Structure 1
């Protein structure tokens, strides 16, 4: 059970990290905002035209007497919207990570450099298009797995008593597992850990994964919260990935002079490698590297 607390600790540590790095946090918000607008539009369309879609899909019920026709199609409309909402929750992280791949990749690398004893971060060495392709392919596989679990749990939800008590709890743990996989994939893909190996790694420390992903999944149910927690969730998942792989991690103290010197060195190196980056707080900001 200790791992549950450790996993939750990584979630909090990730939020603390982005709180100390406002520029990285600001850029990390953009993909979540874009995804939120897309999903809000899709769910609004489903709410407005879901009844019409159900009517089109059930022409055999056109001659049913009242009130059975209204009850039948009303139930199907509610189920359709519930499934759409479930799919939105399950896929939000995957879509956000895909849209924000360059931002979250840079953020994760920065976390690695910040907590690594030697100040280095693993790099995949792959071109961006290849990373996007791998991320999209693996995310689709994970979403299919999560959707199968969702359908199974939805069906089990009709069982008396158990369906209204035990099944929702199991559902939150399943959501937390797949949510953690999507977030940790940002750091693990840079280390050339493929999907099958990632899933095996996460299953070997399920309580650690649940401690990180389950409370995050619960928080994601609150509107807009997912957008603001995503950057910190990526940072925390990077710390969790280092733990899973047994890598040394030193969580920095922002008041430590040695840490401040290391941060200044990183900024100087970034400025030397990227002369277009602003140095005085003016000009167009660039994503963190």
Structure 2
């Protein structure tokens, strides 16, 4: 349970950090605003024409007697919109990070320098275009995993009682895990930690990850909130990444010994 509190603590510390650094916060808002406009347009289009799309996809229901055809298509339209909303929550972070790669890389480095005992930050040895390619490729892999989970949870939602109680809770924890992976990837990729190693690190501290990502995922359900929380979420995920790797902070407190949770401990190696 301590890790749950520590994860949430990193989320709060990240928000406080950007609150103290107004310029970094302002630049960090831009990618989220761009992504929000794109997603709002897509969801609005789905709300306007989703019923027509469902009608086109279910021609077999044309001959059904009233009110069954309308009820069936109305239900499918609602399910389609709910699934699109879930995917929007799952993918918002990945798309925003991809659009705002230079902004968030700079923000994450500033956090590292601010909390590091020697005032330095790890830097990627790769050119910018290579980092961008790796980030996009890994984000796509994570989105595929998230989509698989989304389909499974969607199907499980039809199970009586469990589908309306247990499944939504599992969904929030799954969302929290993938959100944390995407956000922490900014700092971890800069350190040369590959996707497989990142997932191993996160799985080794699931409570820490859930404590950070699950409340953030819940907050992201509120319109516009994701935009304003993104800069602080990147800052907080940088602090979380330091704890996962056992890196010390400026106040002299180690965030962990880094041995049992490091990639080297499970037989993997950095790039």
Q: What is the TM-score of this pair, normalised by structure 1?
A: 0.85
**1:166-220 Cα shifts (integer Å, max 9, x gaps):** 2211111111111000000000000110100000000000011011111111111
Q: Which runs of 4+ in 1 moved over 4 A?
A: none
**1:205-239 Cα shifts (integer Å, max 9, x gaps):** 00110111111111111111110000000000000
Q: How does 1:93-104 map to 2 (within 5 A)?
A: 93-104=93-104
Tell me what 1:54 maps to: 54
Contact 1:239 1:249 in 2 (8 A): no
Contact 2:108 2:235 in 1 (8 A): yes
SS at match of 1:27: helix
Q: How does 1:268-287 map to 2 (within 5 A)?
A: none
Q: How does 1:163-178 map to 2 (within 5 A)?
A: 163-178=163-178
Structure of higher CA gyration radius: 1
- C-alpha separation between the residues in 2 aligned to 1:243 and 1:131? 23
Contact 2:124 2:190 in 1 (8 A): yes
Tell me what 1:240 maps to: 240
| Deviation for aligned residue 1:63 | 2.0
**Which consecutive residues of structure 2, in runs of 5 or more, have no partner in the other structure?**
253-271
| Deviation for aligned residue 1:82 | 1.1
- C-alpha separation between the residues in 2 aligned to 1:34 and 1:126? 27
**Which consecutive residues of structure 1, in runs of 5 or more, have no partner in the other structure?**
253-289
Aligned residues: 252
**1:244-269 Cα shifts (integer Å, max 9, x gaps):** 001111269xxxxxxxxxxxxxxxxx
| Deviation for aligned residue 1:102 | 0.3
| Deviation for aligned residue 1:60 | 2.3
Q: CA RMSD in A?
A: 1.2
- C-alpha separation between the residues in 2 aligned to 1:120 and 1:220? 32
Tell me what 1:148 maps to: 148
Q: What is the TM-score of this pair, normalised by structure 2?
A: 0.91
**1:70-92 Cα shifts (integer Å, max 9, x gaps):** 11211111111111111111100
